Amino acid sequence: MKAFKLLKIRVLRILAVSCALGMISFSFFPAFADEEFENEDKGLQMIRVIPGDTLHAIAELYLKDPDRWPELLKYNVIASGDKDIIHVGDKLLVPVKE
């Protein structure tokens, strides 16, 4: 139940930020869904970094343990080159199957 609540909060944050920045359009969702579908067979989900996200927070939400954040580096190259800095809008692959 806690995971569902966290996911619900994350979705609401994404929608709020997207609306505020004027990023929501009909063409936005199909492209994002296609990328997720391509990675689904590999047990990965693509997410977009939103304000306030950290690798620790993403690991807690998706991997259920913030100390597992180094696992995210196995699937991603951090655009900033610094694992401590992720940018809003970056796309990250996160494992959803163990």
What does the pLDDT look like over 19-68, one tens digit per residue? Answer: 555 554 433 443 344 444 455 557 899 999 999 999 999 999 999 999 99
Mean pLDDT value of segment 60-81: 91
CA distance 53 to 38: 24
More confident: 58 or 83:
58
CA distance 40 to 82: 27
Residue 97, phi-psi category: left (phi > 0), alpha (psi -120 to 50), beta (remainder) = beta
CA atoms within 13 Å, Cβ hemisphere of 85: 4
Domain 26-95 has CATH 3.10.350.10: yes
Whole-structure pTM value: 0.58
Nearest CA-CA partner of 69 in 59, 81, 82: 59
Domain locations along the chain: 26-95
Contact 22, 69 (CB under 8 A): no
